[in-house]
Structure 1
Amino acid sequence: MQIGLFTSGYQRNPLRDAFADAERFGYDYVELWGGRPHAFAPDLKAGDLAAVRALADQHGVPIRVYTPEHNAYPYNFMIGSESQRADAIDYLTTCLDMGKAMGAEFTVISPAHAGYRTPRAEVNERLVDSVTQLARHAERIGHTLVVEALTPYESNVCTTADDLAWLLDQVGSPNLAAMCDIVPPFVQHESIVGYLDKLGDRMRHLHVVDSDGSSDTHLVPGEGVIPLRELLAEFRAAGYDGTATIELVTNYLNEPRLYARRAIDELRALLED
C-alpha cells in the first residue's frame, strides 16, 4: 500500500514545505490540493505548473493524485444556475488537464451539496450529466477521473458506496473510477470494507484517517475511534495494493509537519502489526 501526504494541511505554509516533509518522513507520494496559494488549476495553466513539477523532481516525491478545491465558493457543479454549473465544469475540465500535465495518475472530485430544496430527480440528472461531461473529457486526454463520496454533514448527493456504484453505472466510462474516504461510511454506520465488494476493481484510491464517529473531522490515525488496525488488515487481505493518502485537512493547520510525521509513523506501525 502506497502512503501519500495531502498538501491541503499545508495551505498556510509554502508548498515546498509539504514536498520537503513528504521526503523527510518517508511518504511514497503527494496528493496535491488544488487551491490557492498552492496549485489552483488556472494558476498552474498560467505558468505555475513548471514550479510545482520542479518541487516533485527536487524532492523525489511524485504527484500521484490531484484533488482540486471545488466544494465551496466559487465552484460547485451541483447547485445554482445552469451558467454556474457550466462555469464549474469548465474549471474542472482545466483541473483534469492540469492533473494530466503534472503526471498524476488521476484527478479526484467529490459532488458537493445540491441544496435542501432540490428534488432528487433533479439532483440525479445534474450529477450524471456533469460527471459524464468530465469523464468524456478524461477519455479524450487519456486521464482518469475518480469520484469521492462525502459525509452527510457535507453533501446530500453522493455519500455511500451504493451512490458511487450507481453513478459509475450511469456514466459508463472506462476513465471513471471511485474511491473510499473511510470517514463517510464510518460516521453513517456503513460498512467500510463493503466498498470493496460494491466497487471491486473500480475502487482506485483510499483516504485513510481517523474519526470521532460523529462529525466530518479527519484525525491523525490512532487518535479517533475507527478500528484502523483491523480495517487495514481487511483491505490488505482483500488484495488492495493501491494508493492511500493520509488526508489531514484543516484540523492541524497550525503545525502540519508535526502531525504529518506522527500520522505516517502511526499508520506504518498499524500496517506492520
Structure 2
Amino acid sequence: MSREIMNQIAVMNVQYVQYSFDFFLDSMAKCGVKNIELWTGAPHFYYEDYLTYRETSKKIKKLKGQIEDLGMKVICLTPEQLNYPINLAAKDERLRTRTVDYFSRHMEMALEFGTDQLFITSGSGLRDVQREESWKYSRESLEILAEKAEITGIKLIMEQLQPYESNLITTRSDIERMLQEVDSSSLQCCVDVVAMAVVKDELEDFFKSLEGRIQHIHLADGNPSGHYILGDGSLPIIDYLKTLDNNKYDRYITLEINDSIYLTDPHLALKRSTDYLRNVLLE
C-alpha cells in the first residue's frame, strides 16, 4: 500500500469535545496529522455564539491563523446535524427552512476557512411517517442546497447513516438514488465504513456504482457498529485500505474515532490509530 495514505489522513475535532481547541491542535501535531475536518460546535466554534457576521469572521480568521501556523489546514467543514433542531427531512416546514438556512450559512463559513467541502447528511424522517414522504422533504432540501452550492463553488459531501440514526440514507443504493434524483455535480459522496459494515455493503461496490462521486472517507473500526480505534474492532481495515489504494483514491480519509468511550482521552485514541496505520504501511 502507498505510504501517501498518511498525507490523506484527517481528524475531526468532535472527538475532543471535552477539551479545548488548543489541546486538539496539540494532539494533532504530536500525531503528525495536518488535515482537519472541522466540526463547528461548542466549545471550539459555534457561529451563533457571535452576534454579527463580522464577529464570526473575526473568530474564523483567528482559528484559521492558529491552524495554518502549525502547517495544518481545514479540508472539510462539518456542522453538527444529527440532533434537534437540525433536520433536512423534517415534516415541519419551519424546521426544514431553518436547517437549509443553517447549511447555507456554513457554506459561506467553509470558504472563509479555506475549504470547498461541506459535510452533510439526509436528515431523518419521523418513524411514524411514510418513508417516501420524508424522502421527498430531504430531496427538496438537498436540491435547494445543491443549487446554492453550485453558485458558491462548494461540494456537499453526503454520507450514509446507520439505521438507528436515520430511516432514509443508510445504504449504498440509498445514496446512489439520492444522487440521481438531486442530479447536481455539487452533491457528492462520503463513505462511512462503519455505517457501510452495519448494513453489509462493500467498499468496492461503492467505487463500482459511484465512480467519480466518492469525495471523502470516514474510517474507523467497529464490531461492526461503534467508531473504534483502528485494530480494536472486527472490521477489515487493511482490506479497506487496499481497496482505496487499488481504486487510486487520492482524497481525504477522516479517522472518525469518536465513540463516547474515548471522550476522556481522545489523544490516546488518535495516537493508537495513527500508530496502527504507520505500522500497516511499513509491512
**TM-score, normalised on structure 2?**
0.91
Shift of 1:115: 1.2
Shift of 1:49: 1.0
Q: Work out whether residues 88 and 142 of structure 2, in 8 Å CA contact, stay in contact via their aligned partners in 1.
A: no
Q: Work out whether residues 169 and 175 of structure 2, in 8 Å CA contact, stay in contact via their aligned partners in 1.
A: yes
Q: Work out whether residues 75 and 88 of structure 1, in 8 Å CA contact, stay in contact via their aligned partners in 2.
A: yes
1:126-174 CA distances to partner (integer Å, 9 max, x unpaired)?
Answer: 1110111111111111111110110112111101111111111111112
Match of 1:251 among 244, 258, 261: 261
Q: Work out whether residues 34 and 71 of structure 2, in 8 Å CA contact, stay in contact via their aligned partners in 1.
A: no
Identify unmatched segments of 5+ residues in structure 1.
none
Q: Work out whether residues 88 and 124 of structure 2, in 8 Å CA contact, stay in contact via their aligned partners in 1.
A: no
Partner of 2:41: 35
SS in 2 for 1:201: coil
Task: Give the letter aligned to residue 10 of structure 1.
Answer: Y
Alignment of 1:71-86 (within 5 A): 71-86=82-97
Q: Work out whether residues 210 and 220 of structure 1, in 8 Å CA contact, stay in contact via their aligned partners in 2.
A: yes
After superposition, the Cα gap between the structure-2 partners of 1:32 and 1:3, relative to the gap in structure 1 and judged at 3 Å, is same
Partner of 1:26: 32
Cα distance in 2 for partners of 1:69, 1:111 equals 13
Establish whether residue 227 from structure 1 lines up as the match of residue 236 from structure 2.
yes
Shift of 1:251: 3.2
Task: Give the ranges of 4+ consecutive aligned residues of structure 1 lying more than 3 Å apart after TM superposition.
Answer: 41-46
Match of 1:263 among 269, 273, 277: 273
Shift of 1:43: 4.1
SS in 1 for 2:254: strand
Cα distance in 1 for partners of 2:197, 2:241 equals 14
After superposition, the Cα gap between the structure-2 partners of 1:139 and 1:52, relative to the gap in structure 1 and judged at 3 Å, is same
Task: Give the letter aligned to residue 187 of structure 2.
Answer: L
Cα distance in 2 for partners of 1:83, 1:92 equals 14
Please provide the CA RMSD for this pair: 1.5
Partner of 1:149: 160
Alignment of 1:60-79 (within 5 A): 60-79=71-90
Match of 2:204 among 193, 196, 208: 193
Establish whether residue 118 from structure 1 lines up as the match of residue 129 from structure 2.
yes
Shift of 1:123: 1.7
Cα distance in 2 for partners of 1:62, 1:23 equals 12
Q: Work out whether residues 124 and 134 of structure 2, in 8 Å CA contact, stay in contact via their aligned partners in 1.
A: no
SS in 2 for 1:265: helix
Establish whether residue 181 from structure 1 lines up as the match of residue 192 from structure 2.
yes
Partner of 2:67: 56
Counting aligned pairs with the same residue, the percent is 28
1:10-66 CA distances to partner (integer Å, 9 max, x unpaired)?
Answer: 111111221222122111301111111212243474422122212211211101011
Identify unmatched segments of 5+ residues in structure 2.
none
Q: Work out whether residues 125 and 131 of structure 2, in 8 Å CA contact, stay in contact via their aligned partners in 1.
A: no
Cα distance in 1 for partners of 2:178, 2:250 equals 24
Cα distance in 2 for partners of 1:112, 1:169 equals 18
SS in 2 for 1:229: helix
1:63-121 CA distances to partner (integer Å, 9 max, x unpaired)?
Answer: 10111001102211222410111011111111111112111230101123211112122
SS in 1 for 2:179: helix
Task: Give the letter aligned to residue 137 of structure 2.
Answer: R
Cα distance in 1 for partners of 2:69, 2:127 equals 46
Partner of 1:209: 220
Shift of 1:269: 2.2
After superposition, the Cα gap between the structure-2 partners of 1:196 and 1:251, relative to the gap in structure 1 and judged at 3 Å, is farther
SS in 2 for 1:5: strand
Cα distance in 2 for partners of 1:94, 1:85 equals 14
Structure 1 stretch displaced more, 36-45 or 139-148: 36-45
Partner of 2:250: 241
Task: Give the letter aligned to residue 167 of structure 1.
Answer: M
